[in-house]
Amino acid sequence: MSFTFLLLTKNSLYSFCKNNKNSQLSFPHEVVAYQEIANRTSFDALLTQYLAAYSKYEAILLLSNDIIFQKILPLSPQTNIADEEKKFIDLIPFAPSNVASIIIKSTNALKMYATNTDIYKTIFKVAQLHAITIKHVVPLSPFSDVLENKPLSFETLSQIRKDKKLLNRVDFLLLDIKNTHSSTLLKRLLLLLAIPLITGLLIFIFLFIVKK
């Protein structure tokens, strides 16, 4: 299966393919502004036309530094990770429902990454319509050591695919899957709890009617 790297920036979507067959889709300011979709109908139409060329491809969607909020904190025994994450997210100028964050904890530092999910989720949905399989949605910055400040190309970005452990650790797509799974489990749990309550209520109503 053919493969491409998609790179999402503040104003564009790039594609990097083998043999330098690269392309760029620019977002007009009236369609995407300040990392938010201003005209959803036009944005969907632009994506649909652009991504049609990559039908049945596999892809990794990379998020550039200009659409990623990031913070690195020294880690100590006194660090409250939940509090630090909340402080970090509270500073991000988007609706909380549209913000996804990932934390990487090492022995001496806490690395936090966050982004507005609306644009990449829209790209993911339109990609599915063209049978494009986006395997990962990841920030570019954690792979800076691997890329070694080289110009971006298919060959350079291919180094990212070799670090599968890091890919999974910073994958916003995997985070979405986990959240969806948790939400589904919660709904099932609530349903299981509701069934005996409803059954008990019906029995009570039936007995009350019979006694009358």
Contacts of 68 by beta carbon, 8 Å cutoff, 6+ apart: 113, 114, 115, 139, 140, 141
* Cα–Cα–Cα angle for 37, 140, 135, rounded to 5 degrees: 80
Confidence bin at 46 (pLDDT 50/70/90): very high
What CATH number is given to the structural domain containing 7?
A: 3.30.420
pLDDT tens-digit readout, 107-136: 889 999 999 999 999 999 999 999 999 999
Q: Are 69 and 98 in contact (CB under 8 A)?
A: no
**pLDDT averaged over the chain?**
86
Within a domain: 112: no
Q: What are 32's two structure tokens?
A: 């995407």
> Structural domain tally of the chain?
1
Does 51 reside within a domain?
Answer: yes
Query: Would residue 189 count as lying in a domain?
Result: no
Mean pLDDT over 2-20 rounds to 94
Which whole-number Å values give the CA distances from 137 to 1, 106, 121, 171, 194, in the listed order? 19, 22, 9, 5, 37
* pLDDT band with cut points at 50, 70 and 90 for residue 66: very high
123 domain residue, yes or no: yes
Residue 4: what pLDDT? 96
Model pLDDT, residue 114: 94
Position 77 in a domain? no
Q: Is residue 157 one of the residues assigned to a domain? A: yes
Per-residue pLDDT at 154 exceeds 60: yes
pTM listed for this prediction: 0.80
Domain holding 9, by residue range, is 3-67+117-170
Give pLDDT, residue 146. 84
Query: 50 φ, ψ to 5°?
Result: -70, -45
pLDDT of amino acid 181:
37
d(CA 72, CA 88): 10
User: Is a pLDDT exceeding 90 seen at residue 192?
Assistant: no
Q: What are phi and psi of 110, to 5 degrees?
A: -120, 115
The pLDDT score that the predictor gives to residue 184 is 34
